[in-house]
Amino acid sequence: MDGRGLRARRTTHAPPLHKFEPLRRTALNRLFAAVYACAIIALLYRHAQTLLNPATSLLSFSLSLSLLISDLVLAFMWTGAQAFRMCPIRRKEFPENLRKIIKEEDFPGLDVFICTADPYKEPPMNVVNTALSLMAYDYPTEKISVYVSDDGGSAFTLFAFMEAAKFASHWLPFCREHNMMERSPEVYFASTYHSLSPEIEKIKMMYKTIKVKVEHIVDKGEISDEYIVDNEYREAFSKWTDGFTRMDHPAVVQVILDKSKDRDVLGNFLPNLIYVSRQKSKTSPHHFKAGALNVLLRVSAVMTNAPLILTQDCDMYSNDPQTPHRVLCYLLDPALQSKLAYIQFPQRFHGLNQTDIYASEYKREFQINTMGLDGLIGPGYMGSGCFFRRRAFFGGPSTLVQPEIPELSPDHVVDKPINSREILSLAHNVAGCDYENQTEHWGFKNGFRYGSLVEDFYTGYRLQCEGWKSLFCHPERAAFLGDVPITLLDLLSQCKRWCIGLLEVAFSKFNTLIFGSRSMGLLMGLAYSHYAFWPIWCIPVTLYSFVPQLALLNKVSIFPKVSEPWCFLYVFLFLGAYGQDLLDFVLARGTVQRWWNAQRMWMIRALSCYLFSSVEYLLKSLRISTHAFSLTSKVLDDEQSKRYGQGIFEFGVPSPLFVPLTMAAIINLLSFAWGLTEFWDNGNKEGLALQMVLAGFIVLNCLPIYGAIALRSDKGKMPTQIIVISTFLSMMYEIMKVKVEYIIDKGEISDEYIIDNAYREACSKWTDGFTRMDHPTVAQKSKTSPHHFKAGALNVLLRVSAVMTNAPLILTQDCDMYSNDPQTPIRVLCYLLNPALQSKLAYIQFPQRFHGLNQTDIYVFEYKHLFQINPMGFDGIMGSNYVGSDCFFCRRAFFGGPSTLVPTEIPELSPDHVVNKPINSQKNFSLAHNVASCDYENQTEHWGSKDIDFSVKDGRAYSVILRGQHF
């Protein structure tokens, strides 16, 4: 065989290559899910009872509604999580049986894709170590081709690989000779268990020489002439001209090692090693990592077109050289072969501290839940450590979507050397930034899928929707090990980027709940929805972190009393969810301490990156702002590494992500302390007990935050500005309320409240002669001049606002009528922007409605006929009358009829006037004081009596009704 096929000679007596078995706790999972679902239904019933009870006050209704929303989200996410528990399985491979079934020369070819994007955040030597560990697989080297995608277009990365190619000729035979498991040079030389023989010392020195050279040119920022050792180097770097930039450069495809001519020191074949930097232009979309992977898919098809593809992050090195053998154990099984798209290995990490304080292991996502998916259709694609069949990128299992040129077909046989002019020319062509513009399938029907920042999640999801299946391979020894963020900000920023991508999938036309369930079945649809809607955890966590605690501070009970039966429901729901989560974690070889840190990080992520990503996605959807792709730095700081190793949280850098965390920590501490005082002093032990427990639980989780705020002095402590902002936001309403109520009770504003010149100047007009009925302009009054009550005040505002801002839209509002819907102006624009209404529409009136009415409205304060029923009748004729508040006016309506504009006495009051000076300018201030004076209207004949402004007719103070009649 030529290695392209995936068939093996199997007989009925062939030894097994793999097996699987269901987890023993599956039946218990299903039983517990049924019981827990009943408890959730009971909880929702209790919420419905409270909300529908006529005796429920507005405050109780609002609190209950917020908890209902939280519990509905929690119920939805819990339902999605049950899909992972319905039929989890564990697999085992027998790679030792592989050679009994297939000869090594018949192994299929393997193309390895490694992606990097920034030589400063992803040091080239880290990428080199990953590539060398994969090139050193226990696999026929002539069948391995490694493609390195450098999306940063860095000459430093190319230089590092050209140097690494020389080292590879020594390193690969050294690995085979010593049969090592760790085949990343950096990891191997850092280990202490091998003996320091002269041979090891020699090859270690070779590696250090290359490392120093590469790090030197990165630090220096240029490749000086001393490193350009021959014409091959000179030609390779000739494309890096003055016009070559990270975001605008031609395609670079450089063959560094060619298996047809390059040999190691023992004369054996070396794998192909190809550097690829796709063409970029500021005028062409590049689709982030998915775009880079599609370029590698096309370039590799032209050059080698191996049927097997491994995608690997640049920091995930091989930890087991036998990994491809495990993959073949599945790919050679005829029962799996026809629909198997990929085999996913879990992402696992080295360098985690003992208790994994940031839950960087993502044990539930990468290991526990994935075994559950494996029992259904298979796990999702995780972006790294995944072996694909090339055929899976070209249509469903039964329908091949042919690419635009035959050289890209998964069945194409490459019959020319990779260094030939024809192959290199075609490779450069398919790596061009406008190549995909000439086609309609790439990123949508073929290749890695576009449309989300989490291209891995989205690609795996779409492949499974097309009918492909996948498998989860989880050997005891990690197949790959990678780096983890060692600062909280890096971890949260990375997670925020994922969350935005997940929301893009959740609200796309291929949404997981409807399209996914229809394509893959209900359980898979729910499982993918659990991930796609990951960010909405922010809703219940945020509400439960603030609402019960603020209610506790105000002595409002929102949970059942301890003596009530409903209390046991809350206790069961809490302990049941946390207990099952702990059991899953421990049975997956986790520790209790790591589980505790994982649940704490779940809350931290919900209050920070989940919350911010949801807001950012919403803004992006409204076209208010956009997000940019950012990398997580793989460069380690010694002090940060030391603190991480000691299990100390790293805050250090000010970030908005930390503000909600700190606010929650402060408010929960205050409410818990106040609750303890109330508990002991007043004996209120039953009504507020559950709120106390909740606040105490969150306080316990916030201990690292309190330490960072108050107890630490190192550089990783909470930045002062974050503490100040969070404390201020937590306390400012109560402080403002107390301050205002105090000065009203005292009857004066004492000097302690005049905190600066702005306050001093603002209050300077209140002299001894200043009275309610006789004072200079703030809005001037005099006993000798009529003031026309509210209509006069509104006319002053009409003139002052014209001078200062002159907005075409005006809202009049009574001081006790607060907004209950932030979308109200949008509703107004729905009418004002209608051309059929626009020319004669004076105002849009909302009904006056009231909170705090008693159950039967004994004084008929609702005025239902006046404010709701009759206005609907008016609305069918010429429109509702103006009712004095909650009304949006067109400014133009105050200055004559629809077809006749009544000119104003000064141009600055005209509705067409454009304000071109700052509102604080001396001219604007002077004119504003003038038009607010009590004798200004005496100099005119229109204000309040003819065609301009709020009317007062016949000396009566019925400005509300008359103004509506006048329009």
Q: Do both 381 and 440 map to the same domain?
A: yes
Please spell the DSSP secondary structure of 87-147, one letter per residue: S-EEEEE-GGGGGGTS-GGGSPPEEEEEEE--TTTS-HHHHHHHHHHHHTSSS-GGGEEEE
- Measure the N-to-C terminal CA separation of the chain; round to a whole number of Å: 91
391 pLDDT higher than 70: yes
Do 569 and 700 belong to one domain? yes
* Residue 685 placed within a domain: yes
- At residue 665, the 3 state secondary structure works out as helix
Distance separating alpha carbons of residues 865 and 874, to the nearest angstrom: 12
- CA dist 488 and 73 (Å) reads 26
Q: Where would I find the H helices in 322-407?
A: 323-331, 334-337, 363, 369-374
Pick the closest to residue 331 from 502, 563, 669, 93 (CA basis).
Answer: 93
Distance between CA atoms of 154 and 571, rounded to whole angstroms? 57
Q: Which of 25, 63, 46, 40 is nearest to 572 (CA)?
A: 40
3-state secondary structure 487-542: CHHHHHHHHHHHHHHHHHHHCCCCCHHHHHHHHHCHHHHHHHHHHHCHHHHHHHHH
In angstroms, the CA 59 to CA 46 distance is 17
- Under the banding of pLDDT at 50, 70 and 90, the label for residue 961 is very low
Residue 414 is assigned to a structural domain of this protein: yes
Helix residue ranges, H only, 338-454: 363, 369-374, 421-430
| DSSP category for residue 404 | S
Verify whether residue 151 is a known catalytic residue. yes
Q: Which of 12-21, 146-155, 457-466 has the lowest mean pLDDT?
A: 12-21
What CA–CA distances, in Å, run from 683 to 556, 571, 670? 15, 22, 19
Cβ–Cβ under 8 Å, residues 386 and 309: no
Per the structure, the complete domain to which residue 809 belongs is given by: 789-966
The DSSP 8-state label assigned to residue 238 in this structure reads: G
For residue 470, what are the β-bridge partners?
342
pLDDT digits (tens, 9 = 90+) for 413-425: 999 999 999 999 9
**Domain closes at, from 665, 699, 718:** 718
Same domain assignment for residues 253 and 347: yes
In whole angstroms, give the CA distance from residue 613 to residue 498. Answer: 9
Residue pair 253/145 in contact by the 8 Å Cβ criterion: no
Residue 644 is predicted with a pLDDT of: 72
**Distance, C-alpha 748 to centroid of its chain:** 50
Residues 151, 483, 490, 584: which is the catalytic one?
151
Residue 259: inside a domain: yes
The pLDDT assigned to 540 comes to 96
Answer yes or no: is 784 within a domain: no
Contact call for residues 210 and 163 (beta carbons, < 8 A) = yes
- Among 575-579, 692-696, 915-919, the minimum mean pLDDT is found in 915-919
Q: What strands, in cross-sheet order, belong to the sheet with 272-277? A: 252-257, 272-277, 144-150, 110-116, 308-313, 386-389, 340-344, 469-472
Q: What is the pLDDT of residues 880-912, one digit of tens each?
A: 888 888 999 999 999 888 888 888 888 899 999
Report the alpha-carbon distance of residue 636 to residue 673 in Å, rounded.
Answer: 40
Higher pLDDT, 929 or 781: 929
Q: How far apart are CA 61 and CA 49, in angstroms?
A: 11
Q: State the binding site for UDP-alpha-D-glucose.
A: 121-122, 151
d(CA 126, CA 634): 9
Rounded CA gap, 8 and 668, in Å? 63
Backbone angles phi, psi at 742, to 5 degrees: -70, -45
Please state the residue numbers annotated as binding site.
Answer: 121-122, 151, 289, 313
List of residues 6+ apart from 797 with CB closer than 8 A: none
With beta carbons less than 8 A apart as the criterion, state whether 717 and 652 touch.
Answer: yes
**94-103, 223-232, 867-876 — which one is most confidently predicted on average?**
94-103
Q: What is the mean pLDDT of residues 601-627?
A: 86
Same domain, 441 and 324: yes
Tokens representing 100 are 């009994």
Q: Rounded CA gap, 478 and 185, in Å?
A: 17
- Find the angle CA(749)-CA(751)-CA(757) to the nearest 5 degrees: 100
The tally of domains found in the chain comes to 4
| Structure confidence at residue 720 as a pLDDT band (50, 70, 90) | low
Other beta carbons within 10 Å of 27: 10
pLDDT-wise least confident of 38-47, 217-226, 288-297: 217-226
Query: If you compute the radius of gyration of the chain from its CA atoms, what whole number of angstroms results?
Result: 35
Tokens of 789: 């009550």
Instruction: Flag whether pLDDT at 784 surpasses 70.
Output: no
Residue 53 in any domain: the answer is: yes
Q: Give the bridge partners for 446, in sequence order.
A: 394, 442
Token pair of 615, please? Answer: 């807001």
Q: Report the distance separating Cα 163 and Cα 168, nearest Å.
A: 9
Q: Kindly compute the dihedral angle of the four CA atoms of residues 860, 861, 862, 864, in this order, to the nearest 10 degrees.
A: 50
| Residue 190 pLDDT greater than 70, yes or no | yes
The verdict on 591 and 538 lying in the same domain is: yes
Determine the pLDDT at residue 965: 38
Q: Which range is least confidently modeled, 74-88, 428-442, 625-639, 892-906?
A: 625-639
Mean local confidence (pLDDT), 211-219: 93
Strands 308-313 and 110-116, sheet pairing: parallel
Q: Are residues 735 and 712 in the same domain?
A: no
Tell me which residue of 332, 260, 309 sits closest to 106, measured CA to CA: 332
Give yes or no: residues 712 and 742 share one domain.
Answer: no
Does a structural domain hold residue 738?
yes
- pLDDT band at residue 566 under the 50/70/90 scheme: very high
- In terms of domains, do 129 and 266 share one? yes
Of 455, 484, 513, the last residue of a domain is: 484
- 8 A C-beta contact, residue 521 and residue 376: yes
**For residues 865 and 450, what is the distance between their CA atoms, to the nearest angstrom?**
56
Residue 641's contacts (CB-CB under 8 Å, 6 or more residues apart) are 486
pLDDT exceeds cutoff 60 at 630? no
| pLDDT of amino acid 790 | 82
Exposure string (b/e) for 863-899, b if CB count within 10 Å is 16 or more? beeebeeebeeeeeeebbbbbbbbbbbbbebbbbeee
pLDDT for 861 beyond 70: yes
**Domain of 410: which CATH number?**
3.90.550.10
Place of tokens 């003819």: 946
Q: Say which DSSP state 641 is in.
A: H
Q: How far apart are CA 529 and CA 518, in angstroms?
A: 13
Q: Which of 106, 456, 483, 886 is catalytic?
A: 456
Across 63-75, average pLDDT: 95
Give the separation between CA 271 and CA 550, rounded to whole angstroms. 64
Binding site, annotated residues for Mn(2+): 289, 313
526 shares a domain with 570? yes
| Same-domain check for residues 202 and 323 | yes
- Residue among 179, 190, 37, 173 nearest 125 (CA): 190
The reply to whether 621 falls in a domain is: yes
Q: Is 951's pLDDT higher than 50?
A: no
Strand partners, 90: 21
For residue 764, being part of any structural domain is answered with: no
- Residue 456 bears catalytic tag: yes
Using alpha carbons, list the distances in angstroms from residue 716 to 550, 713, 723, 903. 30, 8, 14, 65
657 and 713 both lie in a single domain: yes
The length of the chain is 967
Same domain, yes or no, for 377 and 432? yes
Contact 50, 118 (CB under 8 A): no
Residue 745 vs residue 16, higher pLDDT = 16
Classify residue 365 by its DSSP letter: I
Tokens of 395: 């249509």
How much is the average pLDDT of 597-625? 90
Asked whether residue 734 carries a pLDDT value surpassing 60, the answer given is: no
- Other beta carbons within 10 angstroms of residue 528's beta carbon come to 29
Rounded Cα–Cα distance for residues 707 and 17 (Å):
53
As to burial, measured by CB atoms within 10 angstroms (0-12 exposed, 13-18 middle, 19+ buried), residue 182 is: buried
